[in-house]
Chain A
Amino acid sequence: MNVMGLILTISVYPFVAIMFFLLKNELAPKRGIYCGVRLTKENAQTPEVERIIADCSRSMKRDFAVLMLLPLPMLLIPWFSIFLTVWMLWLIVGIFIFFIPYIKANKRLKALKLEKGWKKESTCRIAAEIKSAGKIRRVKWYHFAPPCLFSVVLFAISLVNFAKADEPVFGMMTGTFAAITFLFCGIAVWMDRQNTQVISMDSAVNLNYARAKKNLWKKLWVSCAWLNTVYLAGILFSFDKELRMTGLFWWISAVYIIVTIVLLVWIVKSKKRLDAAYFADGELVETDDDDYWIWGLFYCNPADGHAMVEKRVGVGTTMNYGTPKGKLTGILLGLLGGIGILSLPCICLWVILLEFVPIKLSVEDGRLIASQIRVDYSLPAGSIQDITLLEELPRLERVSGTSMDELKKGNYRIAEVGRCQVFLNPQNSIFIRLEAGGTVYYLSGFDDAQTLAVYETLTE
């Protein structure tokens, strides 16, 4: 396993554990909801309900154990592309597998509720707290102004450096992180404007719960905005004068990820504590809207005009897919998710082709052709100058392109020399360096014999 494989393993392996703990956490009763089904305390304590939840928990644990053990033999795969493909498949399975027992438990509980006559008449009742209408706002402009301002300033600094060093990737990276600060600000305002959840017939309880909940979200998004701004500053410090990445970048990135996870754990725990305090006696307003929750995950109630509602699984809000806004968002999310899921096998197939299709260097019809899958470079032989045969490669830093054990191609940089185009197998022992049209190229064939043959043809 090479360094890329190690980075892939470290970054992907914890994901399934996070998914498992998040969904396992959802098996505990939350606001009187058990596996996405609303039950009273008495009903929830019956052996049938306990058995369904225990079955779900057991299935999740079994799937988790299998998924955590599966990668061990995967570590022995010597080919990076196959290694990557298997990891991606593992990841896709890991995203969805824990939902299967959860959905099964949700269906069984709904059926049990119906069978036992626990289900209340399902009327389209919409409760609203009129005393809080438009009043509870916790996010003020001055909470987000400093991180947004700092982000803009840092981005401006990076643009000045980018103009000096002609490095578009750096400008794109800092621009993206500056935009993320604004995105956090937008999400905070949008969440702050959500309606007050009616949990009691006592207005004071509803108002206090809404204030406490909105305070939590405000703290989270303000912290995220500041964290992002500090990370952006860290990015600027972690690049040297020639905008080359230093080791500091990886350290601050690791800290960024750790603090993000800490914030996520904090919000989940704080929200759980808050709910436990307010919902100690279960849901205080009696409503039965289970029919509108598909698998306990998706809310679809055309009679409810609210586009956003409190999630049953996880923390935060979800769309009401029964409203026009919700339908549109659902279609967009479905398309994005579908493209995301489908793009993974396509990327893996492309990487497999890159690893297993040999590179080819040849001279045909007076042109030097470098091809693999498609023609990468086609240079007129007449434009080639200063051609030399190297027995050792200089230290190449990738700017964009492919870097594998047996393939390097794309846009690279050499310290104190500058940019160059690379198309070679680094395992070879001879390489061609040439200049054409003001660009430096480092090339090789599939093996040394191919490289030498092309070199001799070009020098003749």
Chain B
Amino acid sequence: MVIILNDVSDVPVYQQIRNQIVIGISDGRLQPGEKLPTVRALAEEIGINSMTVNKAYQLLKQEGYILTDKRNGARVRETFEGGKSLSGESRELLQRIISEAKIGGMSKEEFIRECEKYF
């Protein structure tokens, strides 16, 4: 799975890694139970500090996307906890995106079609 980081983005690098891994899990490029590279190996591969990768993994673990243990390293969870609803933060983000689309002149149908591409 390829991750592309933008170094001049306002989004911190650890957050970009977290976001791309979440996208990878959702679109199936990362399978449930699949082993993730070690913090050091991934840091070397991307060419960034190990602390940044560690921070991304900690966040993913905290949010329930991955499991980590000392012996097996990090892996994608087999099942994901949580109900079929968005978190408060995600709702807020979605609302912002919808508002921007509305102001930009996008119709509801067009917006839903756009969402279907990514869902």
Contact = CB atoms under 8 A, between A and B. Distances in A.
B26 to A, nearest CB: 15
A305 B8 contact: no
Interface stretch (A87-95, A127-135, A246-254): A127-135
| Interface residue tally on B, bucketed by range | 20 to 34
A229 interface: no
Given A130-B42, A133-B45, A134-B38, A125 B29 contact: no
Interface string A181-221: 00000000000000110101101001000000000000000
A384 to B, nearest CB: 69
B69 interface: no
B3 A130 contact: yes
A133 B48 CA distance: 13
B2 A198 contact: yes
A126 B43 CA distance: 12
B41 A133 contact: yes
A305 B47 contact: yes
B8 A285 contact: no
A125 B37 contact: no
A7 interface: no
Contact of B7 (A126, A131, A196, A198): A126
A125 B44 contact: no
Interface residues of A, number: 26
B59 interface: no
Given A124-B8, A130-B36, A303-B7, A195 B45 contact: yes
Q: Which among B36, B37, B42, B45 has the highest number of chain A CB atoms within 10 Å?
A: B45
Given A133-B37, A134-B37, A134-B38, A201 B44 contact: no
A406 interface: no
B46 interface: yes
Contacts of B21: 130
B4 interface: yes
Given A130-B36, A203-B29, A125 B5 contact: yes
Contacts of A131: 1, 37
A303 B40 contact: no
A289 B1 CA distance: 22
B85 interface: no
B46 A126 contact: yes
Nearest to B13: A126
B2 A206 contact: yes
B42 A133 contact: yes
A11 interface: no
A131, A135, A206, most chain B CB atoms within 10 A: A131
Contacts of B29: 203
A131 B45 CA distance: 10
Contacts of B2: 127-130, 198, 200-201, 203, 206, 285
21 contacts: A124-B7, A124-B8, A126-B4, A127-B4, A127-B5, A128-B5, A128-B45, A129-B1, A129-B2, A131-B1, A132-B45, A133-B44, A134-B44, A195-B46, A195-B47, A198-B2, A203-B1, A203-B2, A303-B8, A305-B48, A305-B49
Which 6 pairs show the lowest CB-CB distances between chains A and B?
A305-B47, A134-B41, A133-B37, A124-B7, A306-B47, A133-B45
